[in-house]
Amino acid sequence: MCGIVGYVGVRSGLEVVMSGLRRLEYRGYDSGGVALVYEGRIASAKKAGKLANLDRELALHPLPDSSTAIGHTRWATHGAPNDRNAHPHLDSSGSIAVVHNGIIENIAEIRANLEAAGHEMVSETDTETVAHLLHEELKGTHDLAEAVRSVCRQLEGAFTLVIASGRHPDLVVGARRNSPLVVGRGKGENFLASDVSAFIEYTRDAIELGQDQVVSITPDEIVVTDFFGNPAETKDYYVDWDISAAEKGGYDWFMLKEIDEQPQDVADTLLGRHDASGALQLDEMRLSDDELREIDKIIVIACGTSFYAGLVAKYAIEHWTRIPCEVELASEFRYRDPIVDRSTLVVTISQSGETMDTLMAIRYARQQRAKVLSICNTNGSTIPRESDAVLYTHAGPEIAVASTKGFLAQVVACYLLGLYLAQIRGLKYGDEISRIMTDLETMPAAIQRVLDESEPVRQLAKELAGSKSFLFLGRHVGYPVALEGALKLKELAYLHAEGFAAGELKHGPIALVEEGVPVFIVVPPRGRDQVHEKVLSNIQEVRARGARTIVLVEDGDDSVVPYADELIRLPKVPTLLQPLVATVPLQIFACALATEMGHDVDQPRNLAKSVTVE
Ligand code: AGP
Identify the segments of the chain with pLDDT beneath 50: none
Asked whether 70 lines ligand 1 (CB < 6 A), one says no
d(CA 66, CA 69): 7
Tell me the CA–centroid distance for residue 352 and ligand 1, in Å: 8
Strand ranges (DSSP E) for 512-601?
518-522, 548-554, 566-570
Q: Strands 31-38 and 68-74, how do they pair?
A: antiparallel
Q: Which atom of ligand 1 is nearest to the CA of 358?
A: 16
Alpha helices (H) along 334-427? 356-367, 382-385, 405-424
| Ligand 1 atom with minimal separation from the 607 CA | 4
Is residue 560 within 8 A of residue 542, CB to CB? The reply is no
What residues contact 402, with CB distance under 8 A and at least 6 apart? 255, 305, 488, 491, 492, 587, 590, 591, 601, 604
* 366, amino acid identity: R
Q: Could you tell me if the CB of 305 is within 6 A of ligand 1?
A: yes
587 lines ligand 1 (CB under 6 A): no
Say how far apart CA 505 and CA 544 lie, in whole Å. Answer: 13
Atom of ligand 1 nearest to the CA of 352: 15
Q: Residues 408, 309: contact at Cβ < 8 Å?
A: no
Predicted confidence (pLDDT) per residue in 256-265, tens digit: 999 999 999 9
Residues 67, 202: Cα–Cα separation, whole Å: 14
Does 133 sit in the ligand 1 pocket, CB within 6 Å? no
At 353 the pLDDT is 94
CB of 351 within 6 A of ligand 1: the answer is yes
pLDDT score recorded for residue 243: 75
Q: Which of 520, 265, 518, 267 is nearest to 404 (CA)?
A: 265
Cα 588 from chain centroid (whole Å): 19
Report whether 306 contacts 351 (CB < 8 A): yes
Q: Is 506 left (phi over 0), alpha (psi -120 to 50) or beta?
A: alpha
14 CA from centroid of ligand 1 (Å): 31
Rounded Cα gap, residues 42 and 96, in angstroms: 7
Nearest-CA residue for ligand 1 atom 3 is: 402
Decide: 572 and 482 in contact? Cβ < 8 Å: no
For residue 383, give the ligand 1 atom closest to its CA.
16
Q: From atom 16 of ligand 1, which residue's Cα is the shortest distance away?
A: 350
Evaluate the omega torsion of the peptide bond into residue 562 and state whether it is cis, within 30 degrees of 0: no
* 612 CA to centre of own chain: 10
Q: Whose CA is nearest to atom 13 of ligand 1?
A: 350
Q: Which atom belonging to ligand 1 lies closest to the Cα atom of 404?
A: 2
Angle between helices 262-270 and 405-424 (to 10 degrees): 20
Starting at the earlier edge strand, list the strands of the sheet with 518-522. Answer: 496-501, 469-474, 518-522, 548-554, 566-570
To test the ligand 1 pocket, which listed residue (306, 350, 356, 591) has its Cβ within 8 A of the most ligand atoms?
A: 306
Nearest CA to ligand 1 atom 4: 402
Contact status, residue 242 vs residue 204, Cβ threshold 8 Å: no
Q: Residue 101: CB within 6 Å of ligand 1?
A: no
Identify residue 230 by its one-letter amino acid code: N
Which residue out of 305, 379, 398 has the highest number of ligand 1 atoms within 8 Å of its CB and is therefore the one to mutate? 305
The Cα–Cα gap between 42 and 56 comes to 20
Longest CA span, the chain: 81
Nearest-CA residue for ligand 1 atom 8 is 305
**Centroid of ligand 1 to alpha carbon of 308 (angstroms):** 10
Cα–Cα distance, 106 to 524 (Å, whole number)? 51
Protein residue closest via CA to atom 2 of ligand 1 = 402
What are the b/e assignments for 29-47, b being 16+ CB within 10 Å? bbbbbbbbbbeebbbbbbb
Domains within the chain, CATH numbers bracketed: 3-246 (3.60.20.10), 254-441 (3.40.50.10490), 455-596 (3.40.50.10490)
Residue 349 CA to ligand 1 center (angstroms) comes to 10
pLDDT score recorded for residue 551: 98
Atom of ligand 1 lying closest to residue 488 CA: 2
Q: Which residues are catalytic?
A: 2, 609
- How far apart CA 53 and CA 86 sit, in angstroms, is 12
Beta bridge partners of 172: 217
Rounded distance between C-alpha atoms, residue 65 and residue 480, angstroms: 52
For residue 72, list its beta bridge partners: 4, 33
Nearest to 19 by CA among 49, 59, 60, 51: 51
Residues with Cβ within 8 Å of 39's Cβ and at least 6 positions away in sequence, in order, are 64
- For residue 608, the CA-to-ligand 1 centroid distance in Å is 9
